[in-house]
Amino acid sequence: MEIWEAAYIAGIIDGEGTITLTRMHEKEHRRPCVTIASTDKELLEYIQKLTNGRINSKKNYDPIRHKDSYTLYIKNKETVLNLLKDVSPFLRVDKKRNRALWILDNYEKVTQRNGKYNADLLEKKIIFEEKFFEI
């Protein structure tokens, strides 16, 4: 990703995006996720090409009053971490920048590759998640 693309995407995330931790399955630990919502599907398709995310459309119950709406979900761990590394210097919204940096600094330290946690590691993982949501 070019520097100008990272800065552009950071602006989109600042305005219309979310940096969060989400579960893919009910019993699973949370993993990083970046979402961007927009009525401009072309914009999301452009970002999708750079990030390999997935675009979902939202149900529009009143097409006379509302435009069609879409959300780009970026959930692949490596993709999210690389994206956050690229865009974090350009994020201007404190909460989003702080969340990105928290994930970059701590996520891999508390995440087991095989998903199996002993009591100490599980406690660290839970504390990581709790502190993330305090940001």
Asked if the model's pLDDT at residue 120 lies above 90, the reply is no
- Sign of the Cα pseudo-torsion (30, 133, 40, 59, in order): positive
Q: Are 86 and 100 in contact (CB under 8 A)?
A: no
Domain segments of the chain as ranges: 3-134
CATH class of residue range 3-134: alpha beta
- Sign of the Cα pseudo-torsion (92, 85, 95, 68, in order): positive
pTM for the complete prediction? 0.88
| Tens digit of each residue's pLDDT (9 = 90 or more) over 15-74 | 999 999 998 888 788 999 999 999 999 999 999 999 989 999 887 777 778 788 999 999
Per-residue pLDDT at 63: 75
* Mean pLDDT within 84-113: 95
